[in-house]
Amino acid sequence: MDNKKVLVRARGITRSKERIREENELIILIAAEKVFAKHGLKGSTTKQIADMAKLPKSNIHYYFHTKLNLYRCVLESILVDWMRAADTFNKFDEPREALKYYVGAKMNLSRTRPFGSKVWANEIISGAPEMEEVLSSRLKQWVDTCVSSINRWVELKKIVNVGDAHTLLYMIWATTQHYADFDYQVMILNNGKELTDSEFEEKKQQVIDLVLRSVGLNP
Amino acid sequence: MDNKKVLVRARGITRSKERIREENELIILIAAEKVFAKHGLKGSTTKQIADMAKLPKSNIHYYFHTKLNLYRCVLESILVDWMRAADTFNKFDEPREALKYYVGAKMNLSRTRPFGSKVWANEIISGAPEMEEVLSSRLKQWVDTCVSSINRWVELKKIVNVGDAHTLLYMIWATTQHYADFDYQVMILNNGKELTDSEFEEKKQQVIDLVLRSVGLNP
DNA sequence: AAAATATTTGACCATTTGGTCAGGTTATAT
DNA sequence: ATATAACCTGACCAAATGGTCAAATATTTT
């Protein structure tokens, strides 16, 4: 109808094509992240994602073509946040600072983007069919530098000899991501109540302290 | 054919009905555990499970009726091993012993039954729709006694004050289960090679040491 | 040995699924 | 103003899926 068009124009709320695409892609990505987190790639349906996004199913296909492609886009978008958190590790020379801020950043990510963490978890549990390349290139590289840092700290006697540095890294990853991936279990064992923000801050500090002590540092 | 029957009888390799059921149920459970581990409940198909078990699909339905029921049976069977490992925690009064053997038992379980761990992980990540009851009754109860033990150790100054005992428990769970749930990632970061038995024993000891130090105990 | 019971399995079915497409609407360039 | 390009979506389809069933085979009981 021309009426509608004129009305919209008059109100100045016309969305440009560019904005429309941007907005819808974001809406779909957010919806897909939630659905994939809960059901994994194979277990999620495009209909579920469409319903979550409050858009017709055809619209999902219009913007992302296939479910697999949408899934890859979700993984990619999570990777961005993930790498940002990873950066904090190498910003500090002192193990106490590096560990404190890295563990803190990972905990924050678990709090702010739990669905993303779950999608990753699902992907790795399934044998990482879509992330193989990222894991063995970008992640491997980052881990190698991390391992070097940790080994240097050991040599300089700044931390205890932890054996294989990977073991420490895995402990940090696993523990911090536990609060996202297993949030439901955490809630049940917290007497059925979600962790409040201040409770979460407490846990974060406790995790940091556990990690610091685990390498022989006194928090 | 009667020939077959006679032959089989003569060789004494006739399977009794009871054995047949036992054997097939086990075969199916093992196959289902692998498939559910990789694809979750919704993502797994009865055909996949049938192929993995090398049985016709109808056979799966004959023994377990529905996919959901089979899934529940898999979870139940995992719970048995899980609770056995949990028992080790309360067998020792001294935190050093209790933690050492519990972490060791959990690591062993990750090594011997990685698929089971993955099925559980998937279930919790999905919001534990089938395990809600087990979590809030059996698991909650066990966790409560664990928390009491840990708090007592803190009061007796046997370990450092860790704040909320749950945080320590989660660290142990997450770290040990990481070697099962994320085994693919662990492999890639181990230069694409599976951990050998002796490598795994090393990691196990390193995890134990990390945990002991994290509560202020000198390994 | 025959009746009864349990196992096995291919054929079948209703429903769900990822994906297509034509025809419509809306924004933008000329 | 009109043409063009982008957005939107209901209707549709082939393939896959969980599950059923009847008929065949195997074991156990009588």
Instruction: Pick the closest to residue B82 from B117, B39, B50 (CA basis).
Output: B117
* Strand C contact residues in chain B (64-83), C-beta within 7 Å: none
Question: CB distance A182–B124 less than 8 Å?
Answer: yes
- pLDDT higher than threshold 80 for residue B7: no
DSSP summary character for residue A15: P
Interface of B with A in 19-78 (CB under 8 A): 37-44
| Residue A29: φ, ψ to 5° | -60, -45
Rounded mean pLDDT, B50-73: 97
Task: Please name the amino acid found at residue B157.
Answer: K
Is-contact A100 A208, C-beta < 8 A? yes
- The encoded tokens of residue A213 equal 């002590």
pLDDT in tens, A176-188: 999 999 999 999 9
Domains and CATH numbers, chain A: 14-214 (1.10.357.10)
Distance CA A129, CA A124 (A): 8
Residue A123 Cα, gap to closest chain B Cα (Å): 9
pLDDT in tens, B43-56: 999 999 999 999 99
| Nucleotides in chain C with any atom closer than 7 Å to protein CB | 6-11, 16-22, 26-28
Instruction: Output the furthest CA–CA distance in chain B (Å, rounded).
Output: 76
Is-contact B127 A38, C-beta < 8 A? yes
Query: Straight-line distance from CA B16 to C1' C2, in Å?
Result: 20
Interface of A with B in 127-156 (CB under 8 A): 127-128, 132, 135-136, 139-140, 143
- The encoded tokens of residue B131 equal 């395990």
Distance CA A117, CA A34 (A): 10
pLDDT in tens, A45-103: 999 999 999 999 999 999 999 999 999 999 999 999 988 999 999 999 999 999 999 99
- The encoded tokens of residue A122 equal 């699902």
Instruction: Please list, residue by residue across A74-113, b when 16 or more beta carbons sit within 10 angstroms of its beta carbon and e when fewer do.
Output: bbebbbeebeebbebbeeeeebbebbbbbbbbbbebbbeb
Is-contact A95 A159, C-beta < 8 A? yes
Is-contact A176 A110, C-beta < 8 A? yes
- The encoded tokens of residue A58 equal 């055809």
Is-contact B148 B155, C-beta < 8 A? no
